[in-house]
Amino acid sequence: MRSLSDLRVKLYADGADIDSILRLYRDPLIHGFTTNPTLMRKAGISDYEGFSRSLLASVTDRPISLEVFADDIKSMAAQARKIASWGKNVNVKIPVTNTKGQTTAPLIRELAGEGIVLNITAIMTLEQVKHVVEALHPDVPAIVSVFAGRIADTGVDPVPLMKDALVALQQRPKAELLWASPREILNVFQADEIGTHIITATSEILSKLKLFGKNLTEYSLDTVKMFYSDAEAAGFIL
């Protein structure tokens, strides 16, 4: 039987809770970390730079993706350069468009040309993947984050798109494809099977890795016991 150590896909942890991040940092299965403004806000973070620098001071040997939050291209560029200066293990997250739907490909080309390691985020179409690939520098590492989980939320199977994205990335051998927003542990094994380089997941999803290989008959019995225990604790009577 396979073990989790046999996975080829690299596991990244997605979140903004510093305690959770440091706990996962001790797990050798976790190869890197990602976060975004939404996760930071949910975690109650108000000092973006302070949080980021604290995180980088604690996690020094694995990549950390930190996202720009400006909306105009000039401000995005300034933020990207500032964030990149905070540490050698920083990957600067750039959304594939701004809120007006304007492509960030020219900015990606400019920053990658300066040697900044980017993580292009919020991608959901193969056309977007191809535009990003064209903008990336062939000699500079990068991450191309396709939001497979959000694609699946619309009723579309993301696996064919992810396979096509891997083909598109062959033009940029230093770029890695990331499966973003997974909804269940099955997605980890789907990503691994097709050769996706990275999958990033919240601590809630990653906690389910402990169920890998669990006997389903035992799991069924555990579930029955849970229902019985909860009904008893609730004091239900008929």
> Tens of pLDDT along 169-225?
999 999 999 999 999 999 999 999 999 999 999 999 999 999 999 999 999 999 999
pLDDT at site 230: 98
Q: Is residue 108 part of a domain?
A: yes
Q: Is residue 89 part of a domain?
A: yes
Measure Cα distances from 115 to 1, 121, 212 in Å: 42, 18, 39
> Tens of pLDDT along 106-125?
999 999 999 999 999 999 99
CATH number at 184 reads: 3.20.20.70
**The whole model's pTM is what?**
0.95
Q: Is residue 226 part of a domain?
A: no
Q: Is residue 204 part of a domain?
A: yes
Q: Is residue 140 part of a domain?
A: yes
Burial (Cβ within 10 Å: 0-12, 13-18, ≥19) of residue 227: exposed
Q: Is residue 232 part of a domain?
A: no
pLDDT at site 11: 98
Domain count across the chain: 1
Alpha helices in 47-201 (DSSP H): 48-58, 73-84, 105-113, 126-135, 148-153, 159-168, 186-194
Given a cut of 60, whether residue 18 has pLDDT beyond it is yes
Q: Is residue 171 part of a domain?
A: yes
Return the residue matching tokens 């890998």: 212
Position 3 confidence tier, pLDDT thresholds 50, 70, 90? confident
pLDDT at site 4: 86
> Tens of pLDDT along 62-119?
999 999 999 999 999 999 999 999 999 999 999 999 999 999 999 999 999 999 999 9
pLDDT at site 215: 96
> Tens of pLDDT along 129-184?
999 999 999 999 999 999 999 999 999 999 999 999 999 999 999 999 999 999 99
Position 5 confidence tier, pLDDT thresholds 50, 70, 90? confident
* Domain containing residue 81: 4-211
Provide the 10 A C-beta neighbour count for residue 129.
24
Query: Taking residues 19-44, what's their average pLDDT?
Result: 96
Specify whether the CB–CB gap between 198 and 178 falls below 8 A: yes
Q: Is residue 24 part of a domain?
A: yes
Average pLDDT of the chain, as a whole number? 97
- DSSP state string for 43-87: TT---HHHHHHHHHHH--SS-EEEE----SHHHHHHHHHHHHTT-
Query: Taking residues 55-61, what's their average pLDDT?
Result: 96
